[in-house]
Amino acid sequence: MMEYFFFKSILMTMLLIGAFGFFFVKLTRLYKIMLAVDGEPKCLVDKPVERIKTIFVDVLGHTNIIRKPVPGFAHALIFFGFLVIFPHSLELMIKGAIPAFSAGHLLPGFYTIYLSVADVLGVFVLAGLAYTLYRRVIIKPSYLTMGIDAKLIILFTSTIVISFYFVNIFQLLSHEMNDGINYGMAFPVSGFLAAVFGLGALSDKEVFVWYEAFYYIHLGTILGFLLYIPSSKHLHLLAAAPNVFFKRLGVEKAVVKTPLEDEKIETFGLANISELNWHNVLNLYACTECGRCEELCPAAGTGKPLSPQKIIHDLKVELFNQSDLLLAGEHNAIKPIIREGSQVTGDVLWACTTCRACENICPVSNEHLDFIFELRKNQVLMEANFPPELQEPFENIENQSNPWGFSADSRAQWCTDIEVPLMSEKLKVDILWFVGCAGSFDERGKKVSRATARILQKAGVDFAILGNEERCNGDMARRAGNEYLAQTMIMQNIEIFNRYSFDTILTGCPHCYNIIKNEFPDFGGHYNVLHTAEFFNLLLKEGRLKTNTPDCGSITLHDSCYLGRWNDIYESPRKVLKMATGSNLIEMSKTQSKSFCCGAGGARMFMEEHIGKRINNERASQIIHSGATTVVTSCPFCATMLGDGIIEGKGQVLVRDISEILDEATNF
């Protein structure tokens, strides 16, 4: 027996050194890949206390994961169960290498209590795993993969827990073990299982043999799993927490400013994986392949080839496939991401509406759009490869400063017959109203602008517009990847803004709102920006507007992506509608942060939709099914897309902007 334990000690020592050494080598390679990429990460390590708090809330608190309650709960059972049972497995490892080691002797009493908790929680892990298997094999949601990776992980984890119980059972039955542990107390579930299986009748020798067999199965599976983690989706076990730590704090986000003026830079955007930054790489490592992003993606949901989950997965595969060249420093030899036969195609890349549903739901805080925007930039700026429909709006913005090509001199014609002051006349105002291209040129948008002007006059607001001085702010061009055009428009607008004195920029368009508020600062334009929904809410609260609560029928609200998920503005439009109409909203099931995109964002407004169902038609059918007679939006692009979708779906729902509702509610 002494010889056996000596042999076991040698074997376990070699196995542990080998497995952990190999694991360390693999981790080192993953770390070196993060260091080998060239891109500059924009993520910060500011506010460390807030970042540590985020780890506790998001990772340990499972707040993101539990947003999908049943799978989230199952994940919590597995996660916390494994956390608790692992120290026992660790003790078994040490004991194998150093037979005299006993945690029970080191921590008398406490270790017995710990073992009893672990013995019970193992059942929870098995319950969580059973649900995971049921979901993947029976429910089979389309966004969940059941590839070899998923199967192996379920096999590994369930083998670990089942063998854990058998180790406990035979440890309990062994008369040899004297570890300072009260086994009767320590293994309530294992004791019950031993009785159920009638194992108490086994001889000491049989108990010993079975114990040793399950010991090797248990530890062998753990060590095998350890080796498998770095090359599987379970890499998220290591990468998720740091990924969350380095995530963007807050909701607002800006497209990364490309240094176009830097003559040392030869390519712009993301052409191959060497141009990722280490935070991007961490995003790829952290993906759990949970499929939540794909489930909520309006493009994936309407039959487009785009899946945000697949983009992350495909880029990870590309990264690993090209990692030898990357680590050898042969960046010029790395193949471009978009090439003949690659998974990320033009149809994938241009299907994105930039709605951020994927980023909002991702439990590990991945930022899918960072990849999409940079890939688009590279295709537009370096390859001149983009959907042909975008050529005309690009030229129109360049020549007439609006995507439709109306004469730039006719920008203020929408208000020639009403009293709307110009900044060039007033020079200094409280509110500079940025009307935007849609509000200035689009027929539907012009009606909304006139309603907004009337509201501002009724409230006695000191405001003015730029009139023909106003320029397209570059949002559409930027989302479409034309960074050069976007930066030109941004700089032109900042130059014009700087001619005047004002407190706040007001806009009725979430796209204008977002770019001026969140992206102009990167170009030196720092402004206090309000969307009309926010400003109207303030005016109503201050009593500067009185309402007559008109009967608008039953109302539902469509949350615009760029107001909601991009800027966390959900309450203001609801409060305005409540104060204006007095009625309670009908909330659609896809509302607020889970709102379904209208299909216009990401410059999709100016592209054809050749593949699958039209996104606006899908949202229109959700609106029609809500039973509301009016749908209110706070975005001119949403209004157009939803209006078209409702006509197509033969619905009887009126589409109105929040300004139109409030204008009517403030008429006496």
Contact positions toward ligand SF4, by CB under 6 A?
A: 287-293, 296-299, 306, 308-309, 312, 352-358, 361-364, 366, 368-369
In angstroms, give the least distance from the CB of 73 to ligand SF4. 17
Tokens 């099931």 identify what position? 589
Nearer to ligand SF4, 218 or 604 (CB): 604
User: Using an 8 Å Cβ cutoff, are 380 and 373 in contact?
Assistant: no
User: 104 or 481, CB closer to ligand SF4?
Assistant: 481
How many Cβ atoms sit within 10 Å of the Cβ of residue 69? 9
**Cβ 408 to ligand SF4 shortest distance, Å:** 31
**What contacts 646, CB < 8 A, 6 or more positions away?**
620, 623, 624, 631, 653, 655
Q: Which is nearer to ligand SF4, 41 or 308 (CB)?
A: 308
In the complex, least distance from residue 389 CB atom to ligand SF4, rounded to whole angstroms: 18
Q: Which is nearer to ligand SF4, 170 or 596 (by Cβ)?
A: 596
Give the shortest CB-521-to-ligand SF4 separation in angstroms.
22
- Output DSSP code: residue 411: T
Q: DSSP string spanning 160-184?
A: HHHHHHHHHHHHHH-SS--SS--HH
What is the closest distance, in whole angstroms, from the C-beta atom of residue 222 to ligand SF4 in the complex? 24
Q: Minimum Å distance from CB 298 to ligand SF4?
A: 5
At a CB cut-off of 8 Å and minimum separation 6, what does 495 contact? none
Nearer to ligand SF4, 298 or 643 (CB): 298
Q: Which of 75/447 has CB closer to ligand SF4?
A: 75
What 8-state DSSP symbol labels residue 138?
Answer: I
439-457 exposure pattern, b = at least 16 Cβ within 10 A, e = fewer: bbbbeebbbbbbbbbbbbe
Nearer to ligand SF4 by Cβ, of 454 and 558: the residue is 558
Q: How far is the CB of 552 from ligand SF4 (least distance, A)?
A: 30
Q: What is the rounded distance in angstroms from the CA atom of residue 122 to the CA atom of residue 84?
A: 9
Residue carrying structure tokens 């994938």: 348
From the CB of 149, what's the least distance to ligand SF4, in Å? 13
Q: Which is nearer to ligand SF4, 206 or 568 (CB)?
A: 568
Which is closer to ligand SF4, CB of 300 or CB of 539? 300
Q: What is the 3-state secondary structure (H, E, C) of 500-542?
A: CEEEEEEECCHHHHHHHHHHHHHHCCCCEEEEHHHHHHHHHHC
- The nearer residue to ligand SF4, 371 or 414, going by C-beta atoms, is 371
Which residue has 């489930």 as its token pair? 295
Q: Give the C-alpha separation, 74 to 82, whole Å.
A: 12
Nearer to ligand SF4, 126 or 357 (CB): 357
We find the least distance from the C-beta atom of residue 429 to ligand SF4, in angstroms, to be 36
If you ran DSSP here, which 8-state letter would residue 331 be given? Answer: G
Cα 276 from Cα 104, distance rounded (Å): 49
The CA distances from residue 364 to 64, 298, 299, in Å, are: 8, 20, 21
The CA-CA-CA angle for residues 72, 77, 79, to 5°, reads: 90
Which residue, 79 or 216, is less far from ligand SF4 as judged by CB?
79
Cα–chain-centroid distance for residue 668? 46
Enter the tokens of residue 66: 């539990």
Q: How far is the CB of 271 from ligand SF4 (least distance, A)?
A: 20
> Minimum distance from CB of 92 to ligand SF4 (Å)?
32
Helix ranges restricted to H, 336-401: 346-349, 357-361, 368-381, 391-400
Task: Specify the residue, 170 or 562, whose C-beta has the smaller distance to ligand SF4.
Answer: 562
For residues 435 and 421, what is the distance between their CA atoms, to the nearest angstrom?
Answer: 13
- Which CB atom, from 99 or from 305, has the smaller least distance to ligand SF4? 305
Q: Measured at the alpha carbon of residue 187, what is the angle toward residues 184 and 192, in degrees to the nearest 5?
A: 90
C-alpha 135/C-alpha 141 separation (Å) is 8
Nearer Cβ to ligand SF4, position 279 or 356?
Answer: 356
Residue 82 CA from chain centroid, whole number: 26
Closer to ligand SF4 by CB, 358 or 539: give it.
358
Question: Can you read off the two tokens belonging to residue 531?
Answer: 């969307």
What string of H, E and C letters represents the secondary structure of 460-474?
CCCEEECHHHCCCCC
Closest CB 579 distance from ligand SF4, rounded Å: 32
Shortest distance, CB of residue 295 to ligand SF4, whole angstroms? 8
Look at residues 56, 62, 86, 87 and name the one whose alpha carbon lies nearest to residue 74: 62
For the CB of residue 292, give the shortest distance to ligand SF4 in the complex, in Å.
4
* Shortest Å distance, C-beta 362 to ligand SF4: 3
What does the alpha-carbon distance between residue 219 and residue 96 come to, in Å, rounded to a whole number?
Answer: 10
- CA-based torsion, 163, 164, 165, 166: positive or negative: positive
In angstroms, what is the minimal distance from the CB of 155 to ligand SF4? 21
DSSP character at residue 55: I
Angle of CA points 219, 25, 240, to nearest 5°: 75
The candidate with the shortest Cα–Cα distance to 468, out of 414, 421, 408, is: 408
**AA identity, residue 333:** A
CB of 141 to ligand SF4, least distance (A): 12
Taking Cα atoms as reference points, which of 489, 551, 558, 550 lies closest to residue 525? 489
Q: Which is nearer to ligand SF4, 30 or 315 (CB)?
A: 315
Q: Are 634 and 595 in contact (CB under 8 A)?
A: no
**Residue entry with tokens 């109203």:** 433
State CA 412 to chain mean position distance: 39
- Report the candidate in 277, 375, 267 with the shortest Cα–Cα distance to residue 40: 277
